[in-house]
Structure 1
Amino acid sequence: MNRICKLCRAWLARLAYGSPLVLLLLAGTTALAYAHGVSDDDKSFIEGSAGINLIPYIYLGAKHMVTGYDHLLFLFGVIFFLYRLKDIGRYVTLFAVGHSTTLLFGVIANVHANPYLIDAVIGLSVVYKALDNLGAFRKVLGFEPNPRLAVLIFGFFHGFGLATKLQEMTLSRDGMVPNIIAFNVGVEIGQLIALSMILIAMTYWRRSPGFQRHALLANAVLMSAGFVLVGFQLSGYFFPTVA
């Protein structure tokens, strides 16, 4: 699978020559497959801690979002053609409501789902947003799915993806609810930090003469990154010993 990812990245790099932001997308393509990973140190802390630890869990939540390539690529696709802060705020809020709901509900209510399948749907969310930006649904199907509803629904899956990773660890019941709420607060903080950085980069890119020329290519790369994640997660589901 890693060899296939490297070949895809090499091919796409030739296409993306001359667009720095597109190259940034390419840099995260392989890492995208591991976007929900939790470091050994973080896992040891979570499994070894007991009681209320608000600040550490806020930090862990923010760290997970800032390094969560699938979340960032989806947000990148969501705001790609949004120019007004009001519109950006509306869509990001819908995404936040979605992933906060399933993150909290999944962990606190102990609702389980196969993490490979959830992450495959998260990969499809990236593919969807790229196709939406390319106008593919209207051209091929003759209609466009409700973008706000889609962002909310995919937000549910993104939150559930976070929940599945936390459920893979042994969480202490002592202080679990406030800790998970703190983790979710951290996720929101991390989202704001990451979104601010994306917006700054997008603002400068949009002012360049090559933006319109590279917009199509950027979304093609975004779609390819989503398919990489889908393929990796499905291979993990069907061939767990190989992944």
Structure 2
Amino acid sequence: MYCKSPYMRTTLAYTTMQNLIGLVLILFLSAGFISSCYAHGVSDGDALFIQQASGLQLFPFAYLGAKHMLTGYDHLLFLTGVIFFLYKMKEVCIYVTLFAISHSATLLYGVLSEVQVNAYIIDAIIGFSVVYKALDNLGAFRRWFGFQLNNKVAVTVFGLFHGFGLATKLQDFALPEEGLVANILAFNVGVELGQLVALTAILILMNVWRKTDDFARQAYSANILLMSAGFVLIGYQLTGYFTLS
């Protein structure tokens, strides 16, 4: 039916745009099914540079850190789950800061202390963090067990595992000792900058999506996709652990 009223046409167009943005975000979450399995991977070119870098290489390492976060679908899926129902910027900043601090701590500690942790097990736990947050968003724990764990504690603990996940990959390379500490610090700064850019884009989409009438229904589907992506990552990593490690 043709809408003669310019106001009605404008309203319908705006509503359609909002729904499309919501669907784009759902498709982004769906990408985690495949991409999250390789979230901590390092390209051959980047690996070669990391191993051959000598002396201070602050900007290149910062760039690699930002690149890792922007392509690290496991981190982005988890953080999307964390902020999914956070409407106040103060709350978003608190949770993201907790994740950043814990992620940074184990990333730096893991690389500089050379603590060895099985990469498959760590990445499986990271997959579980995505499943956990999706179930939490769906209210599953309150229905099943009658209580809900403190979300700030959960985000902090899972942030520690996310940091170790990247540390295990960097440990695969023979990192030059010269400038190592400064370069790893620069890498970590890049990770946090990349996280800030990614979260800004996600929050913009989320805020528009939340204004639609379909958000409640689509939010359920999005969290099912989040949970499914986490299960895929868990299965992929456990398969690697039992067959390759």
Query: TM-score, normalization: structure 2?
Result: 0.90
Root-mean-square deviation (CA, aligned residues, Å) is 1.0
Deviation of residue 60 (structure 1)? 0.4
Residue ranges of structure 1 left out of the alignment (5+ in a row): 1-17
Deviation of residue 27 (structure 1)? 2.4
Deviation of residue 218 (structure 1)? 0.6
Corresponding residue number in structure 2 for 1:7: none
In 1: Cα distance, 2:32 partner to 2:224 partner: 14
Q: 2:51 aligns with which of 27, 35, 47?
A: 47
In 2: Cα distance, 1:25 partner to 1:108 partner: 33
Q: Runs of 4 or more off by more than 6 Å in structure 1?
A: none
Deviation of residue 20 (structure 1)? 2.9
Aligned positions of 1:74-113 closer than 5 A:
74-113=78-117
1:153 matches 2:153: no
Corresponding residue number in structure 2 for 1:9: none
1:56 matches 2:47: no
1:167 matches 2:171: yes
Corresponding residue number in structure 1 for 2:5: none
Q: Please tell me whether Structure 1 or Structure 2 has the larger radius of gyration of its CA atoms.
A: 2
Paired residue total:
224
Corresponding residue number in structure 2 for 1:189: 193
Q: 2:238 aligns with which of 229, 234, 242?
A: 234
Corresponding residue number in structure 2 for 1:20: 24
1:122 matches 2:142: no
Aligned positions of 1:192-203 closer than 5 A:
192-203=196-207
In 1: Cα distance, 2:66 partner to 2:27 partner: 25
Query: TM-score, normalization: structure 1?
Result: 0.90
Deviation of residue 28 (structure 1)? 2.9
In 1: Cα distance, 2:117 partner to 2:60 partner: 26
1:33 is paired with a residue of what secondary structure? helix
Deviation of residue 25 (structure 1)? 1.3
- Identical columns (%): 62
In 1: Cα distance, 2:157 partner to 2:32 partner: 24
Deviation of residue 21 (structure 1)? 1.9
Deviation of residue 29 (structure 1)? 1.3
